[in-house]
């Protein structure tokens, strides 16, 4: 008996660690040094047993998925991104093992339910409170509803798409806890289920609406007795009725599925991404590009259009699996789904297992509308809890007293887990140190301290991002000193970076800039022409090609590329060299303006095209025409910020100050966010900022940080 009590205490402590990890993931607690992984590994060592040894088919395939993630670190096109993901997957796998063990102790299971319910309750209340503040801000700005501004709503720091996946996990756990809990817990689970569905409906996500509808239908089919079905219907009607009462416009817009321009654009974007993936995945057929490398692998096909919003999400989980993990990874995932089906069939009389299975299948279906599960570790951890519940009562779980940890297999497994965790942490910590050195190097370069910056970059190592940053540093240094050795060093570094990372097309642009610095104008022109030919919707390549052609006297071709660049990004009109054309080459400039004004948008064009043309006409002084096109744009897509600012300026120029302020309030919301409070919109904030040539390249900085984890040195 004393030994049993000791085991229960140990199990309870492990439960609290798991719940703490859930809280850290849910509330985005900063964890640069991997405290979550360390805590879970300590619990694994303390437990001295491993659930994947001689257990269910699900346990084995979960183990294989973890091992496969580790293997992909060695085949990945970008090791850092894969190791960053493996750190999370290792922590999640350890949590899964520990959950499998604590399920054998009823007191620990009760503590697990109660603790998770508390965390869920706090998260749901905070998210609902923040939604009311968000809604109030949107309505106060003068908008009629919140549907088009969901991107401004970030509950607990999650974007809406990730948050809806978390909410589906909350709903599934609430149902499971209700069915398996005692009377004291059941009333709380119904409250949590109601709040989860209220929050889900308030997300106004088409995918979440469809997934929740399917879950409700599945539950109505499996719940027994009939009284449980009626309880479920009451919860559904209460949540739907509450949301529909206060947000009827948003609900109807969501249910229309493809009514608005933004909905159609979103649907088309996902279809385009799926088609593009068919061209990319054969390049890394079996093992994929590596976990965490979806955006890098797809960059050439998908993210070279300046006019399209950049997204890190795959259109569905099948595409993400094929791109990141290849055919083998997709096969393992399908195998896991098959094992879940087999387990549900075996446990079909156990309603707790069936409900957990319904929730898991709903998550899988929701992921077919937009893949967010693998981007949010908290969602995967909630899915792990559900996965453990469908194996409850399988008769194969092992209590700690049945395996004291004295056998060699257990010790070997512990050693492997420790070595893997240590290797991951060492890699991440080393990367953090190198990132800090790169950030210091950026500051040194801003002060002109090239020697110190070079020393820091050298110490950071010859990784791909390190090579790129060092190459840019030497390019900037050559511009200041004209010393040929810097040009040669930059060429060697960037060529090596391109050899190691051929998927990064921006390195090719840097090499073209290098040729231009070295006086190899023809080579630079050929390289930029190739880039502009492959990616005609990239404003950087179009603008650079204009500059090269114009400098070589090819004005007709140069004007065509400048026109296309302006149509892609109208702020180019405010660049100093373009404005100077009016004085230095007025014939060229007026010809360009004439062609721009003739480029009227068609009725079939997107609202963003209307907005860009409105900006062009405003800049050229045609305010009446600008007002028409800008009004057309915001009428269809009211979340475009610059059009509201320009419309406000037009009204203020006419002396209509009250109307101008109304437009500026909308611009303020879209610029500063829904939680900006009493922040004033100054004249400086209303002043339109125009681009410099180096600003066009800085769009690469966001991708660079996401792919490699380093800051990008500015190309002067």
Please state the domain count of the chain.
2
**What is the rounded distance in angstroms from the CA atom of residue 40 to the CA atom of residue 288?**
29
Q: Give the pLDDT confidence score for residue 129 in this predicted structure.
A: 95
Asked if 570 and 603 count as a contact pair (C-beta separation under 8 A), the reply is: no
Residue 419 counted as domain residue = no
Asked if 441 and 682 count as a contact pair (C-beta separation under 8 A), the reply is: no
Is 95 in the same domain as 212?
yes
Residue 417 counted as domain residue = no
Question: What is the full DSSP assignment across 150-198?
Answer: GGG--GGG--HHHHHHHHHHHHHHHHHHHHHS-HHHHHHHHHHHHHHHH
SS3 of residue 314 by DSSP: strand
Q: Give the pLDDT confidence score for residue 68 in this predicted structure.
A: 95
**What is the rounded distance in angstroms from the CA atom of residue 346 to the CA atom of residue 531?**
57
Strand extents, DSSP E, 451-507: none
**What is the rounded distance in angstroms from the CA atom of residue 284 to the CA atom of residue 296?**
13
> Using CB atoms within 10 A of its CB, is residue 473 exposed (0-12), middle (13-18) or buried (19+)?
buried
Is 297 in the same domain as 219?
yes
**What is the rounded distance in angstroms from the CA atom of residue 192 to the CA atom of residue 375?**
24
**What is the rounded distance in angstroms from the CA atom of residue 366 to the CA atom of residue 490?**
47
Residue at a domain's end among 406, 428, 450: 406
Identify the DSSP state of 714. P
Q: Give the pLDDT confidence score for residue 450 in this predicted structure.
A: 86
SS3 of residue 657 by DSSP: helix
Handedness of CA 525, 528, 533, 539 (dihedral sign): negative
Residue 330 counted as domain residue = yes
Residue 466 counted as domain residue = yes
Residue 312's φ and ψ, nearest 5 degrees, are -95, -5
SS3 of residue 343 by DSSP: helix
Is 479 in the same domain as 616?
yes
Is 13 in the same domain as 121?
yes
Q: Mark residue 602 as left, alpha or beta (left: phi above 0; alpha: psi -120 to 50; beta: remaining).
A: beta
First to last CA, the chain: 73
Domain that holds residue 16: 2-406
Q: Give the pLDDT confidence score for residue 479 in this predicted structure.
A: 86
Which among 507, 506, 544, 508 is positioned nearest to 525, based on CA atoms? Answer: 544
Residue 703 counted as domain residue = yes
Residue 314's φ and ψ, nearest 5 degrees, are -80, 155
Asked if 175 and 193 count as a contact pair (C-beta separation under 8 A), the reply is: yes
Residue 433 counted as domain residue = no
Is 347 in the same domain as 456?
no
Identify the DSSP state of 147. G
**In the beta sheet, which residues pair with residue 314?**
371
Q: What is the dihedral of CA 689, 690, 694, 699, to 10 degrees?
A: 70
SS3 of residue 367 by DSSP: coil
Is 397 in the same domain as 492?
no
Q: Give the pLDDT confidence score for residue 685 in this predicted structure.
A: 61
Q: What is the pLDDT of residues 638-696, one digit of tens each?
A: 999 999 999 999 999 998 889 989 999 999 999 888 887 666 666 666 677 667 777 88
**What is the rounded distance in angstroms from the CA atom of residue 655 to the CA atom of residue 612?**
25
Residue written as tokens 């879940």? 340
CA separation (Å) from 605 to 194, 573, 609, 626?
A: 42, 22, 6, 16
Q: What is the CATH number of the domain that holds 558?
A: 1.25.40.10
Is 451 in the same domain as 559?
yes
Q: Give the pLDDT confidence score for residue 362 in this predicted structure.
A: 93
Is 397 in the same domain as 486?
no
Asked if 184 and 674 count as a contact pair (C-beta separation under 8 A), the reply is: no
Q: Give the pLDDT confidence score for residue 1 in this predicted structure.
A: 45
Which among 11, 90, 86 is positioned nearest to 48, based on CA atoms? Answer: 11
- Greatest CA separation found in the chain? 96
Is 318 in the same domain as 223?
yes
Q: Give the pLDDT confidence score for residue 310 in this predicted structure.
A: 86
Is 12 in the same domain as 93?
yes
Residue 296 counted as domain residue = yes
Is 377 in the same domain as 451?
no
Residue at a domain's end among 356, 389, 406: 406
414: which 2 tokens? 């512990």
Residue at a domain's end among 384, 406, 428: 406
How many angstroms from the chain centroid is the CA of residue 404? 43
**What is the rounded distance in angstroms from the CA atom of residue 633 to the CA atom of residue 613?**
10
Is 366 in the same domain as 468?
no
Residues of the chain short of pLDDT 70, as ranges, are 1-3, 49-54, 181-185, 393-409, 677-686, 689-690
656: which 2 tokens? 């209509």
SS3 of residue 371 by DSSP: strand
**What is the rounded distance in angstroms from the CA atom of residue 321 to the CA atom of residue 334?**
10
Identify the DSSP state of 691. P
Residue 489 counted as domain residue = yes
**What is the rounded distance in angstroms from the CA atom of residue 151 to the CA atom of residue 35?**
30
């Amino acid at each position: 008996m004393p030994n049993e009590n000791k085991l229960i205490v140990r199990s309870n402590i492990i439960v609290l660690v798991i719940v703490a990890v859930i809280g850290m993931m849910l509330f985005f607690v900063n964890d640069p040094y991997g405290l979550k992984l360390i805590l879970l590994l300590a619990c694994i060592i303390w437990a001295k047993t491993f659930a994947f040894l001689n257990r269910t088919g699900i346990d084995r395939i979960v183990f294989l998925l973890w091992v496969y993630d580790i293997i992909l670190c060695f085949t990945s096109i970008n090791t850092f991104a894969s190791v960053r993901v493996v750190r999370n997957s290792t922590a999640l796998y350890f949590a899964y093992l520990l959950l499998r063990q604590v399920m054998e102790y009823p007191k620990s299971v009760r503590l697990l339910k109660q603790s998770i319910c508390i965390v869920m309750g706090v998260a749901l209340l905070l998210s609902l409170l923040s939604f009311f503040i968000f809604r109030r801000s949107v309505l106060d700005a003068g908008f009629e509803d919140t549907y088009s501004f969901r991107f401004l709503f970030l509950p607990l720091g999650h974007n809406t798409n990730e948050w809806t996946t978390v909410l589906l996990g909350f709903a599934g756990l609430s149902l499971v806890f209700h069915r398996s809990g005692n009377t004291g817990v059941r009333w709380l689970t119904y409250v949590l289920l109601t709040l989860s569905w209220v929050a889900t409906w308030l997300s106004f996500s088409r995918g979440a609406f469809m997934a929740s509808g399917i879950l409700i239908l599945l539950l109505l089919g499996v719940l027994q007795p009939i009284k449980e079905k009626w309880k479920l219907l009451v919860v559904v009607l209460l949540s739907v009725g509450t949301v529909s009462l206060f947000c009827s416009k948003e609900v109807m817009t969501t249910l229309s599925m493809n009514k608005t321009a933004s909905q159609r654009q979103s649907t088309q974007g996902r279809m385009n991404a799926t088609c593009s993936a068919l061209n990319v995945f054969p390049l890394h057929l079996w093992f994929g590009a590596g976990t965490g490398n979806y955006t890098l692998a797809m960059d050439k096909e998908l993210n070279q259009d300046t006019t399209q919003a950049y997204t890190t999400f795959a259109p569905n989980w099948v595409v993400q699996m094929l791109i990141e993990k290849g055919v083998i990874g997709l096969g393992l995932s399908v195998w896991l789904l098959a094992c879940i089906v087999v387990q549900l069939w075996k446990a079909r009389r156990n309603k707790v297992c069936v409900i957990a299975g319904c929730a898991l299948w709903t998550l899988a279906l929701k992921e077919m509308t937009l893949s967010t599960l693998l981007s949010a570790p908290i969602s995967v951890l909630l899915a792990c809890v559900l996965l453990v519940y469908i194996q409850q009562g399988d008769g194969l779980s092992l209590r700690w007293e049945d395996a004291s940890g004295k056998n060699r297999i257990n010790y070997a497994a512990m050693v492997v887990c420790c070595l893997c965790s240590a290797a991951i942490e060492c890699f991440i910590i080393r990367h953090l140190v190198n990132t800090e050195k790169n950030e210091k190097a950026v500051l040194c370069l801003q002060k002109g301290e090239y020697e110190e910056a070079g020393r820091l970059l050298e110490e950071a190592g010859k990784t791909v991002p390190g090579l790129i940053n060092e190459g840019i540093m030497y390019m900037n240094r050559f511009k200041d000193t004209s010393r040929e050795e810097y040009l040669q060093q930059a060429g060697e570094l960037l060529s090596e970076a391109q050899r190691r990372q051929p998927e990064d097309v921006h390195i090719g642009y840097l090499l073209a800039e290098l040729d231009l610095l070295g006086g190899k104008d023809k080579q630079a022109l050929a390289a930029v022409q190739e880039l502009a030919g492959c990616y005609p919707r990239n404003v950087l390549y179009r603008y650079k090609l204009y500059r090269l052609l114009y400098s070589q006297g090819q004005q007709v071709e140069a004007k065509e590329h400048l026109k296309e660049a302006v149509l892609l990004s109208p702020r180019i009109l405010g660049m100093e060299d373009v404005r100077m054309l009016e004085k230095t080459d007025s014939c060229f400039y007026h010809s360009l303006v004439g062609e721009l004004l003739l480029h009227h948008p068609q009725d079939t064009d997107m609202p963003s095209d209307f907005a860009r043309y409105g900006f062009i006409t405003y800049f050229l002084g045609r305010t009446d025409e600008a007002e028409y096109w800008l009004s057309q744009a915001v009428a269809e897509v009211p979340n475009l910020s610059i059009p509201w600012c320009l419309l406000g300026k037009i009204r203020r120029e006419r002396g209509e100050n009250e109307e101008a302020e109304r437009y500026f309030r909308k611009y303020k919301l879209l610029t500063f966010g829904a939680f900006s409070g009493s922040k004033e919109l100054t004249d400086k904030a209303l002043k339109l900022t125009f681009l410099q040539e180096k600003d066009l390249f800085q769009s690469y900085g966001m991708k660079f940080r996401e792919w490699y984890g380093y800051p990008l040195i500015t190309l002067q």
